[in-house]
Every structure is written in structure tokens, then in C-alpha cells.
């Protein structure tokens, strides 16, 4: 990945965004809103016919073309089966992926609605039914260019990233590294028998939209090959009785559509640990982006790393109790 390409991505302007969309034959009014996204650059644009689209410009170096097209294929597979998602529009020439000065982008229709702050019992059951339908479609084909959500990638590889960037303070480095390796050792056997398939990968309330026609699933940017329980545990939330009730309601709806292997709930705590390490490595990889330094001003301080180590050790202790 060239330095010039990265600098162009950091310096994307509304004018360049509008030009890219208009090259696809869609005339814009010039009105736009920058949408919240650290990983990509995402804009809502008004078209001259009064409709709105969302243009997503992909961060260079994260996904290659085939990985992005895996996401697009999943979304189009879901749309074909009338599952509520935001699939990419076809651009000129029939492709879903465009490029401007080396930066890839896609365009989808804007969907109006409200992000749910909470769900009642019936809404949790409905979420479970919808998620089961997504997973049924996810089984229909592979996504070979996407990562596998397993301990080797989310723990071992991410630890390599942290060590390569040399950002771990001496005061926590040894304990942090030891904790990750023990998490890896305890987690790996639990993944030996689990089936991997296409999943959303980052399924939580912030990636859902309540609309008059139903619940829309947003932002498949983190889609992966992984165990389906990954798409449940973020919605389950807490480990207390209320979390167990949410889990049971979601699974009540889910199992009306497809079977769920309850033994895979044992993967929730390993997946939680893997997400913690992956999040830290993500911050490290993106630290040269000016937006990250503004959004995470305390990252990299000794106090930040002390909190990260404490949280990781607490998670490790939970895993010791389970394995």
C-alpha cells in the first residue's frame, strides 16, 4: 500500500466524494452528511431526484477487492431472500465496487429508521428469527477471502501486531503477552469441532435499524467466517440473569427457524477475550490515522495499558473457571 494512497484516503473531501458518485451517472445536489465510521469514510448524499444514497470509501490496505466482494455477495444473497439489509447498488458496467484514484468505494440506498436503544421480549424473539434467516443464507457459500474468527488470528496474530509496533510499555508487556498466550491455549480446543460459516461478525444494537417494514441489519464490513454464536453474544450483553433472559428469548426466536447448537455457548467467553485483543490491535494498526488520535486521545498511555491488562486478566480468570 503506497503512502500516497493512504494520504489521499485521509484527505478525502466532499468534492471528491461527490465527483465519484456523479461519475456513476447519479447527479447530486451537493448536500451531504458525514456518517460515523472510524474504519472507512462514509457519506450520505442527496440526489437530484430527492432520494438519498450512502457512499462508502474503503480504507486502503484492510480488505482486497475479493474480500470486499465477499461482503457484497453476502448482502446480495440476503436481499435475494428478502432479508432486510442495505446491499450495494450496481455501478456503471454492472459492478458493485468502484475506484477513484486507487480508493475503492460502493454505493447503497439510504434506509430511514431509528437505532433501537433496547428491545422488548417480542423484539428479541424477532431479532432471533431474523438472525437465523441470515445464518441460513450464510451457509449457502463460503467467503474464502474473509478472515476466520479463531484464536490463531484474533489472539496470536493480533499479539504479533502489538509486539511488532512496539507500543506495549515495559510495565505490562510481559504480563499482557503471557495472558494472551494462555487465552490462546485455553480457547483453541473449544473451536476444534465448531462449524464456521459466513456471519455478520459485529452484530449489536448499533448495527440495527428499526424501520416500518422491520429490523434492518447494517454494516457487514466485519463479516467473517466464524461460529454463529459470535452474532448472538454481543446482543446478549451482561452475564447476569437479565443477560440469560435475553439469550433465551433470542434463541427462542432463532430456533423457530433453524437449529442452534447450545454447546457453542461455551465459546462466548473466549470470543469476548478475542474481541478485546482484536480491538487493541485495531487501534494500534490505525494509530497513524489523524481521526484515531482525535477519537482516542488516551490510547497508548500507561494508564490505558494498565486498564487493558486488568480487563484481560479478569477475562482470563473467567476462562480458567470454564476450562
Alpha carbons 100 and 38: distance in angstroms, whole number: 20
pLDDT for 176: 98
Sign of the CA dihedral running 243, 246, 248, 250: negative
Three-state secondary structure string covering 176-231:
HHHHHHHHHHHHHHHHCCCCCEEECCCCCHHHEEEECCEEEECCCCCCEEECCCHH
From the candidate CATH numbers 3.40.30.10, 3.40.50.300, 1.10.510.10, 3.40.640.10, the one assigned to the domain spanning 121-322 = 1.10.510.10
Q: How far is CA 134 from CA 19, 72, 80, 140, in A?
A: 34, 14, 12, 10
pLDDT for 237: 82
Sign of the CA dihedral running 17, 19, 20, 22: positive
pLDDT for 322: 86
pLDDT for 239: 86
Q: Read off the pLDDT of residues 173-203 as tens digits, 9 standing for 90 and up.
A: 999 999 999 999 999 999 998 999 999 999 9
Catalytic residue among 77, 202, 221, 231: 202
pLDDT for 281: 96
Buried residues in 198-214 as b, exposed as e (16+ CB within 10 A):
bbbbbbebebbbeeeee
pLDDT for 5: 63
- Return the CATH number of the domain spanning residue range 3-109: 3.30.200.70
Q: Which three cell numbers stand for residue 13?
A: 473531501
By the 8 A CB rule, do 258 and 137 touch?
no
Alpha carbons 200 and 191: distance in angstroms, whole number: 18
Q: How far is CA 49 from CA 17, 26, 178, in A?
A: 18, 9, 58
Active site residue 120: no
Q: Which three cell numbers stand for residue 90?
A: 450496481
Active site residue 221: no
pLDDT for 275: 97
Using DSSP, state whether 307 is helix, strand or coil: helix
Could you tell me how far CA 294 lies from the centroid of its own chain?
A: 21
Domain boundaries, the chain: 3-109, 121-322
SS3 content of the chain, % helix, strand, coil (to 5): 50, 15, 35
pLDDT for 135: 99
pLDDT for 12: 78
* Number of Cβ atoms within 10 Å of the Cβ of 9: 20
Q: Read off the pLDDT of residues 66-88 as tens digits, 9 standing for 90 and up.
A: 999 999 999 999 999 999 999 99
Q: Residues near 307 by Cβ (< 8 Å), separated by ≥ 6? A: none
Q: Residues near 173 by Cβ (< 8 Å), separated by ≥ 6? A: none
Catalytic residue among 219, 221, 222, 231: 219
Question: Which residues in the chain show pLDDT less than 50?
Answer: none
Instruction: Give 49: exposed, middle or buried? Use CB within 10 Å, 0-12, 13-18, 19+.
Output: exposed
DSSP assignments along 95-135, one per residue: -S-EEETTEEEEEEE----B--S---HHHHHHHHHHHHHHH
pLDDT for 4: 63
Amino acid at each position: 500500500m503506497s503512502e500516497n494512497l493512504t494520504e489521499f484516503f485521509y484527505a478525502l473531501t466532499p468534492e471528491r466524494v461527490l465527483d465519484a458518485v456523479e461519475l456513476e451517472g447519479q447527479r447530486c445536489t451537493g448536500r451531504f452528511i458525514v456518517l460515523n465510521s472510524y474504519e472507512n469514510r462514509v457519506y450520505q448524499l442527496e440526489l437530484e431526484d430527492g432520494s438519498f444514497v450512502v457512499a462508502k470509501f474503503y480504507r486502503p490496505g484492510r480488505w482486497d477487492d475479493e474480500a470486499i466482494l465477499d461482503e457484497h455477495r453476502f448482502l446480495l444473497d440476503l436481499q435475494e431472500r428478502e432479508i432486510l439489509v442495505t446491499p450495494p447498488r450496481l455501478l456503471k458496467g454492472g459492478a458493485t465496487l468502484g475506484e477513484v484514484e486507487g480508493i475503492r468505494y460502493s454505493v447503497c440506498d439510504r434506509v430511514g429508521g431509528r437505532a433501537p436503544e433496547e428491545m422488548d421480549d417480542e423484539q428479541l424473539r424477532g431479532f432471533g428469527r431474523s438472525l437465523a434467516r441470515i445464518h441460513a443464507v450464510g451457509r449457502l457459500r463460503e467467503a474464502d477471502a474473509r478472515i476466520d474468527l479463531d484464536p490463531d488470528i484474533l489472539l496470536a496474530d493480533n499479539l504479533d501486531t502489538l509486539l511488532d509496533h512496539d507500543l506495549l510499555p515495559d510495565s505490562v508487556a510481559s504480563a499482557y503477552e503471557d495472558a494472551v498466550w494462555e487465552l490462546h491455549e485455553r480457547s483453541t480446543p473449544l473451536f476444534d469441532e465448531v462449524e464456521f460459516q459466513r456471519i455478520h461478525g459485529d452484530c449489536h444494537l448499533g448495527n440495527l435499524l428499526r424501520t416500518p417494514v422491520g429490523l434492518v441489519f447494517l454494516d457487514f464490513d466485519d463479516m467473517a467466517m466464524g461460529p454463529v454464536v459470535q452474532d448472538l453474544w454481543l446482543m446478549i450483553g451482561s452475564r447476569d440473569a437479565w443477560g440469560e433472559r435475553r439469550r433465551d428469548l433470542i434463541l427462542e426466536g432463532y430456533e423457530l427457524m433453524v437449529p442452534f447448537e447450545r454447546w457453542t455457548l461455551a465459546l462466548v467467553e473466549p470470543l469476548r477475550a478475542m474481541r478485546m485483543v482484536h480491538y487493541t490491535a485495531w487501534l494500534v494498526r490505525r494509530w497513524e490515522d489523524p481521526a484515531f488520535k482525535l477519537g482516542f486521545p488516551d490510547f497508548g498511555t500507561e494508564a490505558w495499558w494498565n486498564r487493558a491488562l486488568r480487563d484481560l486478566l479478569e477475562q482470563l480468570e473467567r476462562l480458567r473457571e470454564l476450562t
